[in-house]
């Protein structure tokens, strides 16, 4: 059987079209100018407003999702830009619980936070600094689930140390 040049060209064109759909991460911007890089599972969070990227640790895929909110533990954070990463429980319809929040402050705001430290305010962990701004993390102090439950174990497995967060951020 003789294969024609037309058949070869058609096969190559179909292969190229199929492979084009398997490209790298796509960035989807939200209304506030932030974006989430995603493929089938989310692999990174890119804050296009402030210019930093948080590469998701392997344990976060599909069970942790970002939320653009100032709320952390029932209080608004006085930051310029905040994103909260929520753990999504296995039980359908269960409320997601905040795991960690990233916030960007300017130097004056950080100084004010340090002054207010004695007022019962939780001090965030500094992850990076750039151009007079400071990227910090607020970590959840306690697991909101029973530690013996599946969600308790899954939540604990996704809690990151300050060093793990620092290593996952590029700014």
pLDDT for residue 41 is more than 70: no
Closest CA to 61 of 81, 77, 39, 82: 39
- Measured CA to CA in angstroms, residue 128 lies from 75, 77, 98, 164 at distances of 23, 18, 21, 13
In this predicted structure, what is the pLDDT of residue 114?
79
Provide the pLDDT confidence category of residue 15 given band limits of 50, 70 and 90.
very low
Q: What pTM was estimated for this model as a whole? A: 0.73
Provide the pLDDT confidence category of residue 117 given band limits of 50, 70 and 90.
low
Q: Domain total for the chain?
A: 1
Which residue shows structure tokens 């400071």? 134
In this predicted structure, what is the pLDDT of residue 75?
85
Residue 87 lies in domain: 5-170
pLDDT for residue 34 is more than 70: no
pLDDT for residue 170 is more than 50: yes
Separation CA 95–CA 154 (nearest Å): 15
């Amino acid at each position: 059987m003789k294969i024609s040049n037309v058949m070869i060209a058609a096969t190559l064109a179909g292969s190229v079209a199929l492979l084009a759909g398997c490209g790298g991460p796509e960035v989807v911007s939200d209304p506030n100018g932030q974006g989430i890089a995603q493929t089938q599972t989310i692999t990174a969070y890119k804050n296009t407003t402030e210019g930093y990227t948080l590469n998701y640790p392997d344990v976060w895929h599909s069970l942790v999702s970002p939320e653009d909110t100032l709320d952390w533990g029932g209080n608004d954070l006085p930051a310029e830009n905040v994103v909260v990463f929520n753990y999504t429980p296995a039980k359908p319809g269960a409320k997601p619980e905040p795991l960690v929040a990233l916030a960007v402050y300017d130097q004056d705001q950080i100084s004010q936070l340090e002054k207010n430290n004695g007022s019962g305010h939780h001090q965030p962990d500094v992850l990076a600094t750039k151009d007079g701004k400071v990227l910090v993390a607020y970590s959840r102090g306690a697991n909101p689930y029973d530690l013996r439950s599946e969600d308790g174990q899954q939540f604990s497995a996704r809690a990151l140390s300050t060093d793990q967060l620092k290593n996952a951020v590029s700014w």
